[in-house]
Amino acid sequence: MEIHGGFRESLWPERIAFTMGWAPARIYDFSDGRPRAGRKEPGREIAIFTRISQAVYTVLQRINTCEIVQTPAPQDIVHRMMKQDAFSQWLGIEVLEAKAGFCRLALNIHPRMVNGFGIAHGGIAFSLADSALAFASNGHGRQALSVRTSMSHLAPLRVGDRIVATARELNLARRIGHYEVDVRREDGELVTRFEGTVYRTSTHWLPEEED
């Protein structure tokens, strides 16, 4: 196989022949773990490289062994998570919108959700926000788990209220993601503010197998 302007494999990964598209020059032997110039490629006259560093060889090894992962759409990931999330189903959570790093969920406050003060238990709004965090952070295609969360209660919720949680991504790194979730009544009043940090595992969401 020849890639013009790149490199050509010859008994990969032990040996690599480099080319500039028109002049593959020398075959480099890596059988002992170190690059060593070998014979010249017959029929070519111009040597392009005289040596290659071990660092470049390592990069090429990784490229050669990398896998292409097909990631499902964020909506498909959230749908699969909801199918297995008995608690969110019990709460009656509705998915309004789901994108990578963003999610909107809705919930109606029922009599079974109130505490001894006649207002919604604080865990109801927290659970809605936590689900929004989970769906937003997993929408990138890698399984993510919360490692830190905090929430401020700004107004009480009562039976009959409908609340909407909106999760937004603040920062995304290779292993860590930071999110903010606002929970509001339908009239727009902010009732809770939630912040969460997730750990992004190396496990990818894969397309669901058809039955």
Domain 74-204 adopts which CATH fold? Thiol Ester Dehydrase; Chain A (3.10.129)
Cα angle 39, 43, 48; round to 5: 60
pLDDT score of 71: 80
pLDDT grade for 21, boundaries at 50, 70 and 90: very low
d(CA 143, CA 71): 11
Residue 50: what pLDDT? Answer: 45
Q: What is the pLDDT of residues 30-69, one digit of tens each?
A: 555 555 555 555 544 444 444 545 655 665 566 566 556 5
Burial profile 41-66: b = 16 or more Cβ within 10 angstroms, e = fewer: beeeeeeebeebeeeebeebeeeeee
Residue ranges matching CATH 3.10.129.10 in the chain: 74-204
80-98, pLDDT tens digit by residue? 999 999 999 999 999 999 9
pLDDT at 13 over 90: no
Measured from the Cβ of residue 77, the count of other Cβ atoms closer than 10 Å reads 22
**pTM score of the predicted model:** 0.68
Residue type, 143: Q
